[in-house]
Structure 1
């Protein structure tokens, strides 16, 4: 009888160990577990933890120095800033104000029209988690460059209004180069293009316009936007090695397909289309 008891004990021990291993694996499998609650990890309420344990790369090594005062590049930035000021209190300004809010759930529908389906924590929870977590990664990625160059923002020089006056005090002491909003928006754009390549034109246009909203808001220079896109692209490339990111991509792809099948289209797209008709960038401008 004793061998059978020992065998039973071994089986029980192996079963317990297997349960522990499965439990430890749950966070990585969480995105694909049917019926599981989609939890967004936070370091504290409202502060999302990204997919990456540290900044994706050293943005000081990735980016060139910002334009020097008096340079031709700064003159180019000045010209586009002046053009952007002409859009104050227009439909484009109002859309830029919408684009400025990266808190959730306010940020959920920002790319919904370009994607062609509604984005919400209720309907596309894995996609929303992907947006929130990649936001944290793209934001972290540019901080080293911001801290290193400490470039001042346009409104500090021109004293013109910004889209979010409640943020003026914080933005005055926050470095401008590169644009964190643009890095976030471009990382989102590339992720969404991977999820819905048939919508790539609309998504890429929306990603470009999302960055340009920071020009319209008078809080970033043109070169901040260009290099913000570079940071966003580099962040997206780095995220490819994250199993949790890839799992959320797979789950989000299924959610998007379900929304298309259900005919769930966004309701605010006419307003957004009108708001994005004007661009602060001259049509012949070479963004390279």
Structure 2
């Protein structure tokens, strides 16, 4: 669904004035995610960063833990504990977190933000998450190619939460986690957009990474080191005028949906119950 804003829309005047102010403040590169012509929708821009602008994750990260190291023992211990969450609500949430396609992934942080995140309700925030997903995901490539670390399920032969992707993931390097990089990057961005919800957002970002442990597709250290790649990528994103402009537009959208009393579309009580089951503490 492509959102269209017309003079008849019920958005508060201050939202429109806010966006107008953003454009006047030197952010002319702000691209609208909508089109007034349904037959010719505006193209969706992809990444903010060119490949050469991405952090060099291969040189940013230390080598992954190897057999006999204390860090590898911790990886194996958390992996074993995660087996206890199989077929629970936490396992189901981990499967949901594994889907980074849009629109499915757009509202991952909606409960933490206490606001809906959809292409219709928050088109600039939706676009921001979509574009940064690709920047964050691509930023792990050089480290993954260098590490060539087998995933946990390859070693322990236990089930994963997304068996439909098992053959593909069998060939992919585990270190660092691309999903955890995306999740932590989103958490950093959203905590900046909504600092009053930062604690909940960052906790959800940590849990998003832990979902990869629950799914048995990443080691604990894959997830931990992903946060460094995410932080480096978000820092580079802030150098881009288009990113900064869309951050301001997304911030304005969040103010609007909250002023209108709009709530997340997820079952936040069920999500909270699932998140209370921690893979690092499971027995």
Q: Normalising by structure 2, what TM-score?
A: 0.85
2:69 is aligned, of 68, 71, 79, to: 71
SS of residue in 2 equivalent to 1:193: helix
Task: Give the distance between the partners of 1:67 and 1:239, measured in 2 at CA.
Answer: 29
Q: Residue 3 of structure 2 aligns with which residue? A: none
What is the number of residues matched between the two proteins? 252
Cα displacement string for residues 98-142 of structure 1 (whole angstroms, at most 9, x for unaligned residues): 101000011011110001100000010110110011011111111
Deviation at 1:30, TM superposition (A): 2.0
Task: Give the distance between the partners of 1:115 and 1:35, measured in 2 at CA.
Answer: 29
Q: Residue 276 of structure 1 aligns with which residue? A: 275
**Is 2:187 the counterpart of 1:183?**
no
Q: Residue 29 of structure 1 aligns with which residue? A: 30
Q: In the TM superposition, what are the counterparts of 1:21-100 in structure 2 within 5 Å?
A: 28-31=29-32, 39-41=43-45, 49-54=46-51, 55-100=53-98
Q: In the TM superposition, what are the counterparts of 1:131-210 in structure 2 within 5 Å?
A: 131-210=129-208
Q: In the TM superposition, what are the counterparts of 1:210-249 in structure 2 within 5 Å?
A: 210-249=208-247
CA contact (8 A) 1:32 1:247 kept: no
Task: Give the distance between the partners of 1:151 and 1:51, measured in 2 at CA.
Answer: 29
CA contact (8 A) 2:33 2:127 kept: no
Aligned-residue CA RMSD in angstroms?
2.1
CA contact (8 A) 1:32 1:251 kept: no
Task: Give the distance between the partners of 1:95 and 1:29, measured in 2 at CA.
Answer: 34
Task: Give the distance between the partners of 1:31 and 1:56, measured in 2 at CA.
Answer: 24
Give the unaligned 5+ runs of structure 2.
1-25
1:119 is aligned, of 117, 120, 126, to: 117
Task: Give the distance between the partners of 1:157 and 1:163, measured in 2 at CA.
Answer: 16
Deviation at 1:195, TM superposition (A): 0.5
Deviation at 1:57, TM superposition (A): 1.4
CA contact (8 A) 2:33 2:124 kept: no
Structure having the higher helix fraction is: 1
Q: 1:241 to 1:32 in 2, by over 3 A?
A: farther
Cα displacement string for residues 179-209 of structure 1 (whole angstroms, at most 9, x for unaligned residues): 0001001110011011100001100100000
Q: Residue 9 of structure 1 aligns with which residue? A: none
Task: Give the distance between the partners of 1:105 and 1:29, measured in 2 at CA.
Answer: 22
Task: Give the distance between the partners of 1:148 and 1:63, measured in 2 at CA.
Answer: 11
Q: Residue 7 of structure 1 aligns with which residue? A: none
Task: Give the distance between the partners of 2:191 and 2:83, measured in 1 at CA.
Answer: 31
Task: Give the distance between the partners of 2:86 and 2:218, measured in 1 at CA.
Answer: 15
Task: Give the distance between the partners of 1:157 and 1:202, measured in 2 at CA.
Answer: 34
Q: 1:143 to 1:32 in 2, by over 3 A?
A: closer
Deviation at 1:26, TM superposition (A): 9.7
Structure with bigger gyration radius: 1
Deviation at 1:60, TM superposition (A): 1.0
1:106 is aligned, of 104, 107, 119, to: 104
Task: Give the distance between the partners of 1:275 and 1:38, measured in 2 at CA.
Answer: 38
CA contact (8 A) 1:30 1:38 kept: no
